Amino acid sequence: MSRPETVNLPFNATVLADRFVPATQGMPDSGEPGIWAVIRGGALVVEQREGGLCLPAGERPAWLPAGADPVVIGRWEGRPLRAVPMAAREELPPSVVAEPFNASAERLDEATLTLGGMAQQVLHWERNSRCCPRCGAVTERISGGWGKRCVACDAEHFPHIHPCVIVLVRRGDEFLLARKPEWAPGRYGLVAGFLDMGESLEECVRREVREETGVEVTNIRYVGSQCWPFPSQLMAGFVADYAGGEIRVDATEIEDARWFCTDLMPPSIPPRRSIARWIIDHYALNLEES
Ligand SMILES: [Zn+2]
């Protein structure tokens, strides 16, 4: 799939096109057969069928534990799409697998990946918004969206989505890639980090690059974004130009950072379904994905 823009990346709703209609409010569950996006301990439960791995479809799957509470998140191809949490200890029948799902999950098609991402984000919010963070009383859903209102103090709460920046720094033909200690050997990616209070996205870019690598940047430009439902981030992508400084790695977050070029690439770079790779392909390697 050609991806001229980041909206076409998985986890962004554009991937679903008009096949998906979001629930407009605490949509009552019609009880009719539908599609089941079951999240089991951070993995997406899928069935092995002839065409590949698919979300379970039809009546409520018999293997869903009795206590599992579905949330209708919209309609997928005309049928209700329900998100359901399931504990990792619960067993699955042999034809059903819990598939790790992230941008590296090549066995899942992009629509399935995106529906799973939405389910994960919705369930994360549902799990974390049962009680009012102000007074501790229970909350109820505000009609028209995913907001919650406290039954005791009336405070309203809305889904928490955490902005992160991710940035490619360029110096002539070279570009700066860094690696975290927990990544697979040889894997390098972009500098990234969470937005801080009192900070614009561009200021966050400047701070993260400085903190993690010791490098100063200028000419910071926004290039697109990707929903990152692990569990609830928004990745805002940037490119920036080198302005000065020598690489000095912050050993608490980064294991190594180096200047690379097209003739000297690390053994492994981020998966093609991530905005990190999209930025590398478009702004470091000048490739159009095909
Ligand atoms: Zn309250």
Q: Give me ligand 1 centre to Cα 137, in Å.
A: 5
Q: Give me ligand 1 centre to Cα 138, in Å.
A: 7
Mean pLDDT on 230-245: 97
Do both 188 and 166 map to the same domain? Answer: yes
Residues of the domain holding 137: 129-159
Do both 152 and 166 map to the same domain? Answer: no
Do both 37 and 113 map to the same domain? Answer: yes
Do both 91 and 174 map to the same domain? Answer: no
Residue 290 clears pLDDT 50, i.e. is over it: no
Tens-place pLDDT, residues 162-204: 999 999 999 999 999 999 999 999 999 999 999 999 999 999 9
In a domain, 225, yes or no: yes
Q: Give me ligand 1 centre to Cα 52, in Å.
A: 46
In a domain, 290, yes or no: no
In a domain, 11, yes or no: yes
Of 66, 92, 119, the residue at which a domain comes to its end is 119
In a domain, 58, yes or no: yes
Q: Give me ligand 1 centre to Cα 135, in Å.
A: 4
Residue 136 clears pLDDT 80, i.e. is over it: yes
Do both 110 and 211 map to the same domain? Answer: no
Q: Give me ligand 1 centre to Cα 127, in Å.
A: 16
Q: Give me ligand 1 centre to Cα 157, in Å.
A: 10
Residue 21 clears pLDDT 90, i.e. is over it: yes
In a domain, 1, yes or no: no
Mean pLDDT on 98-110: 88
Q: Which residue has the tokens 């702004």?
A: 283
Banded model confidence at residue 26, pLDDT cuts 50, 70, 90: low
CA angle (166 as vertex; 162, 170 as ends), nearest 5: 165
Q: Give me ligand 1 centre to Cα 130, in Å.
A: 11
Closest CA to 237 of 269, 193, 171: 193
Do both 154 and 168 map to the same domain? Answer: no
Q: Give me ligand 1 centre to Cα 131, in Å.
A: 8
Q: Give me ligand 1 centre to Cα 159, in Å.
A: 16
CA angle (181 as vertex; 176, 182 as ends), nearest 5: 115
Residue 24 clears pLDDT 80, i.e. is over it: no
pLDDT value of residue 230: 92
Banded model confidence at residue 252, pLDDT cuts 50, 70, 90: confident
* Domain total in the chain: 3
Residue 28 clears pLDDT 80, i.e. is over it: no
Q: Which of 37-46, 66-75, 117-126, 240-249 has the lowest mean pLDDT?
A: 66-75
In a domain, 289, yes or no: no
* Residue 249's CATH number: 3.90.79.10
In a domain, 54, yes or no: yes
Banded model confidence at residue 50, pLDDT cuts 50, 70, 90: confident
pLDDT value of residue 240: 98
In a domain, 169, yes or no: yes
Banded model confidence at residue 3, pLDDT cuts 50, 70, 90: confident
Strand partners, 137: none
- Across the chain, what does the average pLDDT equal? 93
Do both 33 and 95 map to the same domain? Answer: yes
Do both 280 and 184 map to the same domain? Answer: yes
Do both 204 and 262 map to the same domain? Answer: yes
**Prior bond of 100 cis (ω within 30°):** no
Do both 260 and 196 map to the same domain? Answer: yes
Q: Give me ligand 1 centre to Cα 129, in Å.
A: 11
Q: Give me ligand 1 centre to Cα 140, in Å.
A: 11
Do both 175 and 263 map to the same domain? Answer: yes
Q: Give me ligand 1 centre to Cα 139, in Å.
A: 8
Residue 25 clears pLDDT 60, i.e. is over it: no
Q: Give me ligand 1 centre to Cα 133, in Å.
A: 7
DSSP string, the chain: ---SSGGGSTTSGGGGGGGEEE-SSS-------EEEEEEETTEEEEEEETTEEE--EESPPTTS-TT---EEEEEETTEEEEEEEE-TTS---TTEEEEE-STT-TTS-HHHHHHHHHHHHHHHHHHH-SB-TTT--BEEEPTTSS-EEETTT--EE----EEEEEEEEEETTEEEEEE-TTSPTTB-B-EEEEPPTT--HHHHHHHHHHHHH--EEEEEEEEEEEEETTTTEEEEEEEEEEEE------TTT-SEEEEEBTTB--SB---TTSHHHHHIIIIIS-PPP-
Quote the CA–CA distance of 19 and 82 in Å, as a whole number: 15
Q: Contact at 8 Å (CB) between 254 and 183?
A: no
Q: Give me ligand 1 centre to Cα 65, in Å.
A: 31
Do both 166 and 279 map to the same domain? Answer: yes
Mean pLDDT on 267-288: 93
Banded model confidence at residue 103, pLDDT cuts 50, 70, 90: confident
Q: Give me ligand 1 centre to Cα 228, in Å.
A: 29
Q: State the first-to-last Cα distance of the chain, in angstroms, to the nearest integer.
A: 6
Q: What is the pTM of this model?
A: 0.93
Q: Give me ligand 1 centre to Cα 160, in Å.
A: 17
